[in-house]
Amino acid sequence: MAVRGTWNDTRSRGRVAIGVARLIGDSEAMVALRDEVGRAAAAPFPVLIEGESGTGKELVARALHEEGPRRDETFAAVNCATFSDDLIETELFGHAKGAFTGAVQSRRGLLEASSGGTVFLDEVGELSPRAQAKLLRTLQDGEIRKVGENVTRRLDLRVVAATNRSLAAEAAKGRFRHDLLYRLDVVHLQVPPLRDRGADIARLATYYWDRTLVQTRGRARLAPETMNALAAHEWPGNVRELQNVLAALAVAAPAHGEVGPQLLPAAIRRAAEERRPTLAEARRAFDRTFVYDALTRSGGRRSPAARELGLSRQGLAKLVTRLGIASQKPPRVR
Ligand SMILES: Nc1ncnc2c1ncn2[C@@H]1O[C@H](COP(=O)(O)OP(=O)(O)O)[C@@H](O)[C@H]1O
Ligand SMILES: [Mg+2]
């Protein structure tokens, strides 16, 4: 099945990707994931998304919602790690008036409020045993009961959960209920870490660099060496770390021209320096220096430089573009 994802035109923000189109990357793993998301979206079953922090689990959850038949209904995300035991219960299930001290009004929980739509339970592994038991009952019965109330209400929910650890391992250690695991883990989606899909780094970096420049009103470009250094990094914090590095880089960068790798954090720079360049990279670096030197000797005039290099004027122009030779800055040879 080919699920494509769509684009939305919004007046203030330009074109915004919807559905699987949100997921950038052409690596095999990403192409496969987009396909799986499209298929899972069409079915009504619960989905468990596993992956390291910052890999895009929430994005996958949104894509699932937007590709599915509930796309026009509510998508409610709740981070199970950010609430205390009591709060998560009232947050999810709501409470009746007078259920506890301070419950001056009855309150609808998130599950009830998003009935008809999708609820995204982020970091579901962090739920307390009590909340796990209550969630299990809710999912089994398809009904919800507020804290401090005996009335039940029918629920119609698509449940998507995410975790950055293996929930099966958590269950094996007794930290997560097996029965709840089976309820949640019907369709399983694994989001690979960025280091396992290095082919996606350049596209992600370009996308987020452009977005950052809109925010900083900058116009600088990432030098090829900078891009190589980004591609060589391990990214333990995954796409979120990449976004943060680019934001810091945009602040440090000049308004125009090329952003060299010297502005990158030392750890990323050093890793790239220690890595041996590939033959293609070394050739490119050689070509850049060679062409740059010829242009320097000719004082920037293209015709004499082209003659010296044995190229046509158009040939040189193309090469200058392809090699990304900035007018002022000498390229660095590794
Ligand atoms: N494949 C991707 N394409 C575009 N942006 C991505 C991708 N994966 C992650 N991101 C972005 O990276 C950031 C972290 O993603 P998020 O979904 O919050 O990760 P997680 O929930 O796994 O911690 C978000 O801003 C998200 O939009
Ligand atoms: Mg997250």
Domain map of the chain by residue range? Answer: 6-192, 200-323
Total-model pTM: 0.80
The answer for residues whose C-beta is within 8 angstroms of residue 188's C-beta and 6 or more apart is 47, 48, 50
How far is it, in rounded angstroms, from Cα 166 to Cα 199? 25
Give the span between the Cα atoms of 3 and 252, in whole angstroms: 40
Map residue 105 onto helix, strand or coil: coil
Ligand 2 centroid – CA 212 distance (Å): 20
Gap between the Cα atoms of 45 and 157, Å rounded: 10
CA 269, chain centre distance (Å): 23
The minimum-distance atom of ligand 1 relative to the CA of 59 is 17
In words, the CATH class of domain 6-192 is: alpha beta
On the CB side of 79, CA atoms within 13 Å amount to 6
CA gap 164, 55 in Å, rounded? 9
- pLDDT of 286 reads 87
pLDDT band at 23 (very low <50, low <70, confident <90, very high): very high
Supply the DSSP string of 166-178, one letter for each residue.
-HHHHHHTTSS-H
Ligand nearest to the CA of 22: 1
CA of 238 to the centre of ligand 1 (A): 8
Instruction: Return the structure tokens found at 154.
Output: 């029918």
- Record the tokens describing residue 211, joined without a space: 């977005």
Pocket lining: 212 vs ligand 1, CB cutoff 6 Å? no
pLDDT of 11: 47
Cα of 181 to ligand 2 centre, how many Å?
19
Mutate to test the pocket of ligand 1, among 240, 242, 245 (most ligand atoms within 8 A of CB): 240
Residue scoring higher pLDDT (150 or 132) = 132
Maximum separation of any 2 CA atoms in the chain, in Å: 89
Nearest CA to ligand 1 atom 16: 56
Pair type for strands 158-163 and 118-122:
parallel
Question: Among all ligands shown, which has an atom nearest to the Cα of 123?
Answer: 2
Give the span between the Cα atoms of 140 and 177, in whole angstroms: 14
- Determine whether the shortest distance from the Cβ of 63 to ligand 1 is under 6 A: no
Tell me the C-alpha distance between 168 and 175, whole Å: 10
Encoded tokens for 318 = 């193309």
- pLDDT band for 8, please (50, 70, 90 cuts): low
Give residue 28 CA to ligand 2 midpoint distance, Å.
23
- For the Cβ of 240 lying below 6 angstroms from any atom of ligand 1, the answer is yes
Helices (H), 155-278: 167-172, 178-184, 201-216, 224-232, 238-252, 266-274
**pLDDT score at 256:** 87
Contact (Cβ atoms closer than 8 angstroms) between residue 90 and residue 130: no
- Rounded to the nearest angstrom, the distance between the alpha carbon of 292 and the centre of ligand 1 is 39
Identify the band that residue 332 occupies on the pLDDT scale cut at 50, 70 and 90: very low
CATH architecture group of domain 200-323:
Orthogonal Bundle (1.10)
Residue at 197: amino acid letter = R
Look up residue 129 and give its two tokens.
């045993």
The residues facing 310 across adjacent strands are none
User: What pLDDT, in 10s, does the model give residues 139-150?
Assistant: 999 888 888 888
Q: Which of these ranges, 13-17, 170-174, 205-209, has the smallest mean pLDDT? A: 13-17
Lowest-pLDDT choice from 17-26, 38-47, 166-175, 266-275: 266-275
Task: Supply the pLDDT for residue 274.
Answer: 73
Q: What is the best residue among 59, 163, 164 to mutate for testing ligand 1's pocket, by most ligand atoms within 8 Å of CB? A: 59
Q: Confirm if 1 and 39 have CB atoms less than 8 A apart.
A: yes
Q: What percent of the chain has pLDDT over 90?
A: 62
Reported as a pLDDT band with limits 50, 70 and 90, residue 153 is confident
Instruction: With beta carbons less than 8 A apart as the criterion, state whether 179 and 132 touch.
Output: no
| Pocket probe mutation, ligand 1, options 160, 239, 243, 244, max atoms within 8 Å of Cβ | 239
Q: How many angstroms is it from 17 CA to the middle of ligand 2?
A: 19
Alpha-carbon span 144 to 142, nearest angstrom: 7
**Helix (H), strand (E) at residue 75:** strand 75-79
Which ligand ends up closest to the CA of 242?
1
Measured CA distances, 161 to 179, 186, 233, 280 (Å):
15, 11, 29, 43
pLDDT at 284: 82
Mean pLDDT of 280-295: 86
The pair of three-digit structure tokens given for residue 44, joined into one six-digit string? 């009504």
Determine whether the shortest distance from the Cβ of 124 to ligand 1 is under 6 A: no
Q: Whose CA is nearest to atom 23 of ligand 1?
A: 54
Whether 6-192 shares its CATH topology with 200-323 is answered no
